């Protein structure tokens, strides 16, 4: 496994991103160890909020939520998935599997060891984080799911997702910042688009961004579909408070929140919200409203 590391200068002077980088080394049985980047803000002894981003973003996605959660009394931890952000990037598409992504992130949880965790999940952050949650929920106190899911291969996928899956794998140039912008309701400023491009100096760094859409189980016999079904058996007994915050203009995840609300006991009676005039990246489209919702749900 060849592993790439984005030069530090790519992350200098990004707008609204003053956070000090922190790193842990993740053991990797398929190649060299992987340096995983994460943000760690707020008192180390405070209850934790762990925010997991998705595809093709990185911890920059949560830049506006971090200060608010710190003010609310949390230790805020935001890791970059393997292949994204300041975390190391295996160079080949075949280096990425769903199970490896889960194992790498589970290892990060074991090394950093956050306690009394509010788990906030978006996109692939949910596909990974819900699997970790299902394996043992003792460290977690509440969960927020935003435009995400845990597919088992039985759900019908939208045409928009099928198109994105093909694009991610086949486009000669994958314009990550423009893809994020195109999935928002608002137009992002050029400097923000550039910040989403920062982790990827050239196409060789984008294997993870290209790989993940193809790893989503779309048929019952796909790799990881059975593991996701097993995870649902655990989640269907989860009584921890579980909140969904979805958007009205995201064709990728539309309707998935109803599955969470119907199957997870902890979702009963929660103030579930569907944000209006918001695309897939709700943290960009409805920042102020999302901060208010999370502040109320995570109040200590």
3-class DSSP assignment, residue 102: helix
d(CA 153, CA 233): 15
Reported pTM: 0.97
Taking only the tens of pLDDT, the chain with its 300 residues reads: 999 999 999 999 999 999 999 999 999 999 999 999 999 999 999 999 999 999 999 999 999 999 999 999 999 999 999 999 999 999 999 999 999 999 999 999 999 999 999 999 999 999 999 999 999 989 999 999 999 999 999 988 889 999 999 999 999 999 999 999 999 999 999 999 999 999 999 999 999 999 999 999 999 999 999 999 999 999 999 999 999 999 999 999 988 999 999 999 999 999 999 999 999 999 999 999 999 999 999 997
62: which DSSP letter?
Answer: G
CA distance 211 to 125: 15
Q: How far apart are the first and last CA of the chain?
A: 44
Reply yes or no on whether 250 is catalytic. yes
3-297 falls under which CATH superfamily? Alpha/Beta hydrolase fold, catalytic domain (3.40.50.1820)
| Whole-number pLDDT of residue 97 | 98
CA separation for the pair 179, 201 (Å, rounded): 16
Q: What is the pLDDT of residue 254?
A: 87
**What is the rounded distance in angstroms from the CA atom of residue 230 to the CA atom of residue 13?**
44
User: SS3 for 171?
Assistant: coil
Chain centroid offset of residue 53 CA: 2
Looking at residue 77, what is its pLDDT? 98
Which of 53, 80, 280, 285 is flagged as catalytic? Answer: 280
With tokens 């306690």, the residue in question is: 115
- Domain residue ranges of the chain, discontinuous segments joined by +: 3-297
3-state secondary structure at position 189: coil
List Cα–Cα distances, 276 to 94, 190, 212, 271, in angstroms.
38, 24, 27, 15
Residue 123 annotated to the active site? yes
Give the pair of three-digit tokens for residue 256.
Answer: 């998935």
pLDDT of residue 157: 87
Residues paired with residue 48 on neighbouring β-strands, in sequence order? 75
Q: Which of these is catalytic: 64, 250, 272, 288?
A: 250
Residue spans of alpha helices (H) in the chain = 65-71, 98-112, 124-135, 159-170, 176-182, 190-197, 207-215, 225-235, 256-263, 282-285, 287-297
In the three-class reduction of DSSP (H, G, I as helix; E, B as strand; rest coil), residue 245 is classed as: strand
The pLDDT, as a whole number, for residue 41 is 98
Which member of 80, 123, 219, 285 is catalytic?
123
Residue 248 bears catalytic tag:
no
> 3-state class of 26 per DSSP?
strand
């Amino acid at each position: 496994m060849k592993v790439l590391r984005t030069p530090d200068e790519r992350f200098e002077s990004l707008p609204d991103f003053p956070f000090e980088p922190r790193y842990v080394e993740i053991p990797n049985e398929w190649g060299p160890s992987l340096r995983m980047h994460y943000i760690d803000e707020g008192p180390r002894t405070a209850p934790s909020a762990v925010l997991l981003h998705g595809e093709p973003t990185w911890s920059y996605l949560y830049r506006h939520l971090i200060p608010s959660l710190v003010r609310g009394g949390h230790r805020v931890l935001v890791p970059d998935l393997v292949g994204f952000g300041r975390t190391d990037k295996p160079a080949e598409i075949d280096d990425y599997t769903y199970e490896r992504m889960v194992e790498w992130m589970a290892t990060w949880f074991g090394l950093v060891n956050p306690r009394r965790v509010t788990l906030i999940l978006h996109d692939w952050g949910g596909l990974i984080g819900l699997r970790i949650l299902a394996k043992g929920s003792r460290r977690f106190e509440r969960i927020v799911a935003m435009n995400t899911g845990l597919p088992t291969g039985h759900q019908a996928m939208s045409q928009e997702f099928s198109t994105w899956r093909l694009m991610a794998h086949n486009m000669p140039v994958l314009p990550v910042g423009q893809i994020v912008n195109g999935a928002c309701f608002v137009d992002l400023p050029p400097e923000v688009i550039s910040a989403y491009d920062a982790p990827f100096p050239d196409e060789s760094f984008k294997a993870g961004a290209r790989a993940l859409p193809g790893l989503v189980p779309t048929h019952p016999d796909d790799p990881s579909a059975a593991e996701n079904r097993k995870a649902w058996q655990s989640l269907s007994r989860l009584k921890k408070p579980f909140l969904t915050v979805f958007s009205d203009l995201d064709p990728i995840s539309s309707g998935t929140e109803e599955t969470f609300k119907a199957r997870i006991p902890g979702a009963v009676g929660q103030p579930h919200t569907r944000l209006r005039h918001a695309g897939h990246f709700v943290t960009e489209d409805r920042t102020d409203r999302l901060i208010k919702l999370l502040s109320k749900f995570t109040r200590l």
